[in-house]
Structure 1
Amino acid sequence: MSELRANRIAEQMKKELGEIITRKIKDPRVGFVTVTDVEVSGDLQQAKIFISVLGDEKQKQETLTGLAKAKGFIRTEIGRRIRLRKTPELLFEFDEAFEYGNRIDTILRDLNK
Protein backbone atom coordinates (compact mmCIF):
# COMPACT_ATOMS: atom_id res chain seq x y z
CA MET A 1 0.00 0.00 0.00
CA SER A 2 2.78 2.41 0.95
CA GLU A 3 4.70 1.71 -2.26
CA LEU A 4 1.62 2.42 -4.37
CA ARG A 5 1.09 5.75 -2.61
CA ALA A 6 4.79 6.66 -2.98
CA ASN A 7 4.56 5.94 -6.72
CA ARG A 8 1.44 8.10 -7.10
CA ILE A 9 3.09 10.96 -5.24
CA ALA A 10 6.26 10.55 -7.33
CA GLU A 11 4.27 10.86 -10.57
CA GLN A 12 2.41 13.92 -9.30
CA MET A 13 5.69 15.49 -8.16
CA LYS A 14 7.27 14.82 -11.57
CA LYS A 15 4.43 16.65 -13.30
CA GLU A 16 4.49 19.60 -10.89
CA LEU A 17 8.30 19.87 -10.84
CA GLY A 18 8.43 20.17 -14.61
CA GLU A 19 6.08 23.12 -14.47
CA ILE A 20 7.74 24.77 -11.46
CA ILE A 21 11.26 24.54 -12.88
CA THR A 22 10.34 25.81 -16.34
CA ARG A 23 7.93 28.58 -15.32
CA LYS A 24 8.75 29.73 -11.78
CA ILE A 25 12.54 29.48 -11.48
CA LYS A 26 14.14 32.67 -12.80
CA ASP A 27 17.76 31.80 -11.93
CA PRO A 28 19.93 32.33 -15.04
CA ARG A 29 22.13 29.38 -14.01
CA VAL A 30 19.24 26.96 -14.52
CA GLY A 31 19.30 25.97 -18.16
CA PHE A 32 16.98 23.73 -20.13
CA VAL A 33 16.02 21.08 -17.57
CA THR A 34 13.87 18.01 -18.08
CA VAL A 35 12.65 16.04 -15.06
CA THR A 36 13.06 12.43 -16.19
CA ASP A 37 12.05 10.59 -13.02
CA VAL A 38 11.19 11.03 -9.35
CA GLU A 39 11.71 8.35 -6.71
CA VAL A 40 9.99 8.90 -3.36
CA SER A 41 11.02 6.84 -0.34
CA GLY A 42 8.43 4.58 1.27
CA ASP A 43 8.06 6.86 4.29
CA LEU A 44 7.64 9.93 2.00
CA GLN A 45 10.57 11.71 3.68
CA GLN A 46 12.90 11.99 0.67
CA ALA A 47 12.42 12.45 -3.04
CA LYS A 48 15.23 11.80 -5.50
CA ILE A 49 14.68 13.89 -8.62
CA PHE A 50 16.49 12.77 -11.76
CA ILE A 51 17.10 15.55 -14.28
CA SER A 52 18.52 15.83 -17.75
CA VAL A 53 20.19 19.08 -18.81
CA LEU A 54 21.10 20.25 -22.30
CA GLY A 55 24.59 21.67 -22.54
CA ASP A 56 28.17 20.93 -21.63
CA GLU A 57 29.49 19.80 -18.25
CA LYS A 58 29.85 23.37 -16.97
CA GLN A 59 26.22 24.15 -17.85
CA LYS A 60 25.11 20.98 -16.06
CA GLN A 61 26.99 21.88 -12.88
CA GLU A 62 25.65 25.44 -12.92
CA THR A 63 22.11 24.11 -13.33
CA LEU A 64 22.58 21.75 -10.40
CA THR A 65 23.90 24.64 -8.29
CA GLY A 66 20.94 26.83 -9.27
CA LEU A 67 18.46 24.09 -8.40
CA ALA A 68 20.19 23.49 -5.07
CA LYS A 69 19.82 27.20 -4.24
CA ALA A 70 16.14 27.13 -5.21
CA LYS A 71 15.43 23.90 -3.31
CA GLY A 72 13.51 25.66 -0.53
CA PHE A 73 11.31 27.55 -2.98
CA ILE A 74 10.65 24.39 -5.02
CA ARG A 75 9.78 22.43 -1.88
CA THR A 76 7.35 25.14 -0.78
CA GLU A 77 5.66 25.14 -4.20
CA ILE A 78 5.38 21.34 -4.14
CA GLY A 79 3.85 21.56 -0.66
CA ARG A 80 1.22 24.01 -1.91
CA ARG A 81 0.32 21.96 -4.98
CA ILE A 82 0.37 18.49 -3.41
CA ARG A 83 -1.35 18.35 -0.05
CA LEU A 84 0.91 16.33 2.23
CA ARG A 85 1.57 16.60 5.95
CA LYS A 86 5.27 16.87 5.33
CA THR A 87 6.81 17.71 1.97
CA PRO A 88 9.68 15.33 1.12
CA GLU A 89 13.29 16.53 1.19
CA LEU A 90 14.45 17.09 -2.41
CA LEU A 91 17.66 15.60 -3.80
CA PHE A 92 18.60 16.49 -7.38
CA GLU A 93 20.71 14.06 -9.43
CA PHE A 94 21.66 13.77 -13.08
CA ASP A 95 19.98 11.01 -15.06
CA GLU A 96 22.86 9.14 -16.67
CA ALA A 97 20.59 6.81 -18.66
CA PHE A 98 20.55 8.96 -21.80
CA GLU A 99 24.33 9.34 -21.95
CA TYR A 100 24.74 5.62 -21.28
CA GLY A 101 22.27 4.78 -24.06
CA ASN A 102 24.03 7.11 -26.49
CA ARG A 103 27.40 5.54 -25.67
CA ILE A 104 26.04 2.03 -26.29
CA ASP A 105 24.42 3.21 -29.54
CA THR A 106 27.73 4.67 -30.72
CA ILE A 107 29.58 1.44 -29.88
CA LEU A 108 27.01 -0.65 -31.76
CA ARG A 109 27.21 1.62 -34.81
CA ASP A 110 31.02 1.36 -34.80
CA LEU A 111 30.80 -2.42 -34.61
CA ASN A 112 28.45 -2.52 -37.61
CA LYS A 113 30.89 -0.53 -39.76
Structure 2
Amino acid sequence: MSKDNKFSGPTQRSLRMGELVRHAMADIFARGDIDDDALRGTVITVPEVRMSSDLKLANVYIMPLGGQHAEEIVAALNRHRKYVRGRVSPALNVKFAPEVRFFVDETFEEAGRIDALLRSEKVKRDLADDDGETD
Protein backbone atom coordinates (compact mmCIF):
# COMPACT_ATOMS: atom_id res chain seq x y z
CA MET A 1 0.00 0.00 0.00
CA SER A 2 1.42 3.41 -0.91
CA LYS A 3 1.95 6.22 1.57
CA ASP A 4 -0.17 8.47 -0.66
CA ASN A 5 -3.33 6.56 0.23
CA LYS A 6 -5.37 9.17 2.09
CA PHE A 7 -7.80 6.53 3.34
CA SER A 8 -5.27 4.62 5.40
CA GLY A 9 -5.67 4.65 9.15
CA PRO A 10 -3.35 6.09 11.75
CA THR A 11 0.26 4.94 11.74
CA GLN A 12 1.80 2.91 14.52
CA ARG A 13 3.89 5.96 15.39
CA SER A 14 0.87 8.26 15.72
CA LEU A 15 -1.00 5.66 17.79
CA ARG A 16 1.98 5.29 20.14
CA MET A 17 2.35 9.07 20.51
CA GLY A 18 -1.39 9.43 21.09
CA GLU A 19 -1.19 6.93 23.92
CA LEU A 20 1.77 8.79 25.47
CA VAL A 21 -0.17 12.07 25.28
CA ARG A 22 -3.25 10.38 26.78
CA HIS A 23 -1.26 9.14 29.78
CA ALA A 24 0.41 12.53 30.25
CA MET A 25 -3.00 14.25 30.15
CA ALA A 26 -4.45 11.80 32.66
CA ASP A 27 -1.54 12.56 35.02
CA ILE A 28 -2.05 16.32 34.66
CA PHE A 29 -5.79 16.00 35.36
CA ALA A 30 -5.22 13.65 38.30
CA ARG A 31 -2.80 16.10 39.93
CA GLY A 32 -5.14 19.03 39.37
CA ASP A 33 -2.40 21.14 37.78
CA ILE A 34 -4.80 23.48 35.98
CA ASP A 35 -6.17 26.31 38.11
CA ASP A 36 -9.66 27.07 36.80
CA ASP A 37 -12.98 27.26 38.64
CA ALA A 38 -14.68 25.15 35.94
CA LEU A 39 -12.23 22.31 36.58
CA ARG A 40 -12.06 22.43 40.36
CA GLY A 41 -13.25 19.18 41.92
CA THR A 42 -13.93 17.57 38.55
CA VAL A 43 -12.64 14.12 37.65
CA ILE A 44 -11.77 14.06 33.94
CA THR A 45 -11.16 10.91 31.92
CA VAL A 46 -9.23 10.82 28.65
CA PRO A 47 -10.57 7.91 26.59
CA GLU A 48 -8.72 8.83 23.39
CA VAL A 49 -6.11 11.09 21.83
CA ARG A 50 -5.92 11.27 18.04
CA MET A 51 -2.66 12.55 16.63
CA SER A 52 -2.21 14.13 13.22
CA SER A 53 0.03 12.17 10.87
CA ASP A 54 2.86 14.68 11.36
CA LEU A 55 2.42 14.49 15.17
CA LYS A 56 2.03 18.28 15.41
CA LEU A 57 -1.59 18.22 16.59
CA ALA A 58 -3.19 16.20 19.38
CA ASN A 59 -6.99 16.06 19.48
CA VAL A 60 -7.75 15.10 23.08
CA TYR A 61 -11.20 13.64 23.75
CA ILE A 62 -12.31 14.03 27.35
CA MET A 63 -15.31 13.18 29.47
CA PRO A 64 -15.93 14.42 33.00
CA LEU A 65 -17.10 11.79 35.45
CA GLY A 66 -20.88 11.63 35.17
CA GLY A 67 -20.79 13.57 31.88
CA GLN A 68 -21.99 16.79 33.51
CA HIS A 69 -20.83 20.21 32.26
CA ALA A 70 -18.70 18.60 29.54
CA GLU A 71 -18.85 21.61 27.20
CA GLU A 72 -17.83 24.02 29.99
CA ILE A 73 -14.91 21.78 30.94
CA VAL A 74 -13.74 21.51 27.33
CA ALA A 75 -13.92 25.30 27.00
CA ALA A 76 -11.85 25.69 30.19
CA LEU A 77 -9.26 23.19 28.98
CA ASN A 78 -9.01 24.93 25.61
CA ARG A 79 -8.40 28.24 27.43
CA HIS A 80 -5.43 26.61 29.17
CA ARG A 81 -4.14 24.54 26.26
CA LYS A 82 -0.79 26.39 26.01
CA TYR A 83 -0.14 25.66 29.68
CA VAL A 84 -1.16 22.02 29.18
CA ARG A 85 1.11 21.73 26.15
CA GLY A 86 4.02 22.93 28.27
CA ARG A 87 3.21 20.38 30.98
CA VAL A 88 2.88 17.52 28.48
CA SER A 89 6.15 18.21 26.67
CA PRO A 90 8.55 16.84 29.33
CA ALA A 91 6.51 13.64 29.67
CA LEU A 92 6.77 12.93 25.94
CA ASN A 93 10.53 13.32 25.60
CA VAL A 94 10.18 14.83 22.13
CA LYS A 95 11.80 17.85 20.53
CA PHE A 96 8.49 19.60 19.82
CA ALA A 97 5.31 19.12 21.83
CA PRO A 98 2.13 18.83 19.76
CA GLU A 99 -0.50 21.57 19.78
CA VAL A 100 -3.37 20.38 21.94
CA ARG A 101 -7.11 20.72 21.28
CA PHE A 102 -9.80 19.39 23.56
CA PHE A 103 -13.14 17.88 22.52
CA VAL A 104 -16.01 16.17 24.30
CA ASP A 105 -15.82 12.40 23.82
CA GLU A 106 -19.19 11.32 22.45
CA THR A 107 -18.48 7.62 21.99
CA PHE A 108 -20.29 6.66 25.22
CA GLU A 109 -23.35 8.65 24.14
CA GLU A 110 -23.24 7.09 20.67
CA ALA A 111 -22.91 3.59 22.15
CA GLY A 112 -25.93 4.28 24.38
CA ARG A 113 -27.93 5.47 21.39
CA ILE A 114 -27.08 2.33 19.41
CA ASP A 115 -27.90 0.13 22.41
CA ALA A 116 -31.30 1.84 22.75
CA LEU A 117 -31.99 1.28 19.05
CA LEU A 118 -31.11 -2.39 19.31
CA ARG A 119 -33.47 -2.78 22.27
CA SER A 120 -36.35 -1.01 20.52
CA GLU A 121 -39.60 -2.87 19.83
CA LYS A 122 -39.19 -2.48 16.07
CA VAL A 123 -35.81 -4.24 16.08
CA LYS A 124 -37.11 -6.97 18.40
CA ARG A 125 -40.08 -7.46 16.05
CA ASP A 126 -37.78 -7.62 13.00
CA LEU A 127 -35.56 -10.16 14.70
CA ALA A 128 -38.55 -12.24 15.71
CA ASP A 129 -39.81 -12.16 12.09
CA ASP A 130 -36.40 -13.32 10.82
CA ASP A 131 -36.38 -16.24 13.25
CA GLY A 132 -39.75 -17.50 12.05
CA GLU A 133 -39.05 -17.23 8.31
CA THR A 134 -38.06 -20.10 6.09
CA ASP A 135 -36.70 -19.57 2.61
Cα deviations by residue, 1:77-103 (Å, 9 ceiling, x for unpaired): 111111111111111111111101111
For 2:95, what is the secondary structure of its paired residue?
Answer: coil
What TM-score comes out, normalization by structure 1 length?
0.84
Q: Give, in angstroms, the shift of residue 10 of structure 1.
A: 0.9
> Is 1:69 matched with 2:76?
no
Deviation at 1:60, TM superposition (A): 1.4
Between 1 and 2, higher relative CO (CA 8 Å, sep ≥ 6) is seen in 1
Partner of 1:108: 118
Take 1:61 and 1:105, find their aligned partners in 2: how far apart are those partners? 24
How much is the aligned-residue C-alpha RMSD, in angstroms?
Answer: 2.0
Number of corresponding residues: 110
Moved more, 69-78 or 24-33: 24-33
Query: For residue 25 of structure 1, what is the amino acid of its counterpart?
Result: I
Larger Rg: 2
Aligned partner of 2:49 among 20, 38, 62: 38
TM-score by length of 2: 0.72
Counterpart in 2 of 1:49?
A: 60
Gaps of at least 5 residues in structure 2 are: 1-9, 126-135
C-alpha distance in structure 1 between counterparts of 2:111 and 2:12, whole Å: 29
Shift of 1:17: 0.5
Unaligned runs of 5+ in 1: none
Q: Using the TM superposition, give the Cα deviation of residue 107 of structure 1 relative to its aligned residue in structure 2, in angstroms.
A: 2.5
Given the alignment, which residue of 17, 26, 34 partners 1:18? Answer: 26
Structure 1 vs Structure 2: percent identity of aligned residues? 28
